Amino acid sequence: MGESSGFVSVDVERISFGGKEHHVLTSHGPISVAVYGDLEKPALVTYPDVALNHMSCFQGLLFCPEASSLLLHNFCIYHISPPGHELGAAPISADEPTLSVDQLADQVAEVLDYFGLGSAMCFGVTAGAYILTLFASPRACLCISQTKYRERVLGLILVSPLCKAPSWTEWLYTKVVSNLLYFYGMCGLVKEYLLQRYFSKEVRGSSQVPESDIVSACRSLLDEKQSENVWRFLQTINGRHDLMEDLKKLRCRTLIFVGENSPFHSEALNMTTELDKRYSALVEVQACGSVVTEEQPHAMLIPLEYFLMGYGLYRPTKLSYSPRSPLSPLCISPELLSPESMGVKLKPIKTRISVKV
């Protein structure tokens, strides 16, 4: 790792919850990447939703022993935080321009360049899922990099993804929230908007039922966020463009999870209509909001396991190959490309997993 053309990278020697945090100065400004695992293993790049980072967006999944063994045994995980969303982040200067979604996708490419990664599996949640889908789409080939980004994406794991431009209703509502955030900071109304975005009403509680521990923990983490930085990412995502046409040309294998109570449930359904049915699958999780990784992480295990089998990757108990072998979709056997191989009882596009609450 070191300097690469077009940007300078700076390491921060800080160990956080078992991972090393790197601050990478890209051509669009600095970005924080927390790295967990063996650098010799294939890369799994994650990107969280608005106002979240890897500790509040992927911790629930990685705290499940089975999921942790599956992912950490096969991958080195690179958790990218949106600009200014990392733990202990300082406010971004008001003189710095707000980045576009295309510039955030460029940053992903520069992070891969810095770590010397030719390609990676990509795992995003909601806004983060949009950025990684954009990174994998043909549109990204028109950005600053001469390398086709889509050739650098081995597969997509998307959780409650965004894929369309915001509707007028969403755009206007987000503008109102953005103004509250800008003038009043992370106030109660903004926190409630974000919690409704992330979680189902079952875990958010009510006047009679207390909110769950994951919601309480998330509420506390939101208090620590720099409101200026959250405002910037919210503005960026509210200015996103439609990816529906680009999805038709997407050729990497894609696994989509969505909570049936997610505000973006219909968007995930629309997304699957454009994806090649031979390489995509949808898993709907009952009684769950958008951030399935935190609210119902156990519902993700079996679909993830079947999805990764398509790349010859298994949990340690089934290990029969070198974990250092590079991922290559060219090595997928034909039967593992079938929709049925990508999850339990998968229909061509859609699987519904029942979760008892």
Radius of gyration of the chain from its Cα atoms, rounded to whole angstroms: 19
Strands 43-47 and 29-36: unpaired
**Residue 224 phi, psi (nearest 5):** -90, -5
Structure-token pair, residue 215: 């919601």
Structure-token pair, residue 161: 């993804």
Q: What distance in Å separates the CA atoms of residue 307 and residue 288, rounded to the nearest whole number?
A: 21
CB 287 within 8 A of CB 315: no
Give residue 227's pLDDT: 96
**Residue 172 phi, psi (nearest 5):** -70, -45
- pLDDT tens for the 357 residues of the chain, in order: 444 334 334 444 443 445 799 999 999 999 999 999 999 999 999 999 999 999 999 999 999 999 999 999 999 999 999 999 998 999 999 999 999 999 999 999 999 999 999 999 999 999 999 999 999 987 654 444 434 577 899 999 999 999 999 999 999 999 999 999 999 999 999 999 999 999 999 999 888 889 999 999 999 999 999 999 999 999 999 999 999 999 988 889 999 999 999 999 999 999 999 999 889 999 999 999 999 999 999 999 999 999 999 999 998 864 444 444 444 443 333 344 444 444 433 333 345 444 444
Q: What distance in Å separates the CA atoms of residue 171 and residue 190, rounded to the nearest whole number?
A: 15
Query: Angle at Cα 280 formed by Cα 247 and Cα 239, nearest 5°?
Result: 35
3-state per-residue secondary structure call for 157-204 = EEECCCCCCCCHHHHHHHHHHHHHHHHHCCCHHHHHHHHHHHCCHHHH
Q: What pTM was estimated for this model as a whole?
A: 0.85
Instruction: Sort 144 into a burial class: Cβ within 10 Å, 0-12 / 13-18 / 19+.
Output: middle
